[in-house]
A = this chain, B = another copy of it.
C-alpha cells in the first residue's frame, strides 16, 4: 500500500518561469532513465522478488521515495510553465528574441494538451514506455541495471544543472543529484554484497552450468575490426572478473561455417524460390499445393 502526504521531500520552486527549460526537465521525469522509470523499476523488482528480507526491503524502501521524485519534478515543471505565453508567433517574436526562442524551444503539447502542466513524456515529447523497465527476477542482473539507471540519471541531471542558472531549479537538481550519488553507491554495494554472500555470482545467471556453455570462446576477446589497441586492455589477458576464467586475445575471428542453405517454406506463402522449384510450381502447384485447401 502507498500513502501520500502533501509535502515534498525537498523544495521544488523555481525563481522564475522558463517554459523552454520545463521541456528539458521532462527528460528526467518521463525519459528512458527518468524518475518514472526508476520508480516503476524498483516497484516491479520488489513485486517479482523471490526472497524476503534486506534486498526486497531495499527495493520497497527507495521505490516510494522515487515516486515522490516524480511528484517533485512534475510540480517543478508546472511552475516553470506558469507564465508560458499563449501567444501568436509573429507578435511575440517581433518584440523579443527571447520569446522567439521560446516559441521554438518549448514543448507545444505543454500548452495545447496540458494547459501549462507536466506530462509523462521525455524532452522530445515521446510518451514514457513500459519498455524502459527492467525486472528479470535475477537480483545481480537487476541491481546492475539499477546502478546503470542511477548513473545515466545523474549524468543527465548534471547536464541539466548547467542549462539553467535558476537557483530554485538548481537547488532541486542538487538534491536529486545527491540522491543519485547515494543510489549509485547503494546498488554497487548491494551487487558486491550479493556476491560476497554467495547469493549470486558472475557470470549472470550464476547457476547455469558453465559446462553447458561453449568452452572455446567464453573468455576470448575476438577482434572484428582493424583497430589493435583493444589488445592492451585488461579484458585481453589475465584473470576475468568472475574468477572463473582467463582472458585471451584473438586478433581476428576464426574461419566461420558456411551458411545453411536457404529455406523452402510451404509454397502457399508465395515466397520467391529457385527455378527448378518454379517449374514444379508451374506444373504442380495447382494440384500439389492448392488442392490442399
A136 & B108 in contact (Cβ 8 Å cutoff): no
Q: Are B115 and A271 in touch, CB under 8 angstroms?
A: yes
B112 contacts A185, CB within 8 Å?
Answer: no
Q: How far is the CB of A138 from chain B (nearest CB, A)?
A: 5
Q: Which of B85, B151, B202, B274 contacts A52 (CB 8 A)?
A: B274
- Chain B minimum-CB-distance residue to A193: B234
In the complex, what residues of B have CB within 8 A of residue A232's CB? 54
Other-chain residue from B23, B32, B139, B253 in contact with A108 (beta carbon distance below 8 A):
B23
Whether A136 lies near B114 (C-beta < 8 A) is yes
For A32, give the chain B residue with the smallest CB separation: B131
Identity of the chain B residue whose Cβ is nearest the Cβ of A204 in the assembled complex: B151
B161 and A272 form a contact (CB under 8 A): no
Q: How large is the interface on A (under 10, 10 to 19, 20 to 34, 35 or more residues)?
A: 35 or more
Contacts of A274 in B (CB 8 A): 50-53
**Residues from chain B with Cβ under 8 Å of A221 in the complex:** 61-62, 182, 186
User: Are A209 and B100 within 8 A (Cβ)?
Assistant: no
What's the Cα separation between A228 and B123 when bound, in Å?
Answer: 35
| Partner pick for A148 among B36, B145, B228, CB 8 A cutoff | B145
Contact call A54/B224, Cβ cutoff below 8 A: no
Q: Are the CB atoms of A108 and B125 closer together than 8 Å?
A: no
Bound form: Cα–Cα A217–B178 in Å: 6
17 more contacts with CB within 8 A, not counting A105-B108, A126-B127, are A1-B256, A3-B4, A4-B224, A7-B257, A27-B112, A43-B74, A48-B118, A61-B222, A62-B221, A63-B224, A88-B165, A117-B135, A117-B136, A120-B133, A127-B132, A140-B272, A179-B217
- Of all A-B residue pairs in the complex, the 10 with the closest CB atoms, nearest first, are A104-B104, A48-B117, A124-B125, A7-B256, A115-B137, A57-B227, A127-B130, A120-B130, A205-B270, A137-B271
Complexed CA–CA distance, A52 and B103 (Å): 30
- Contact assessment for A6 and B124 in the assembled complex, using a CB-CB cutoff below 8 Å: no
Closest Cβ neighbor of A20 among chain B residues: B89
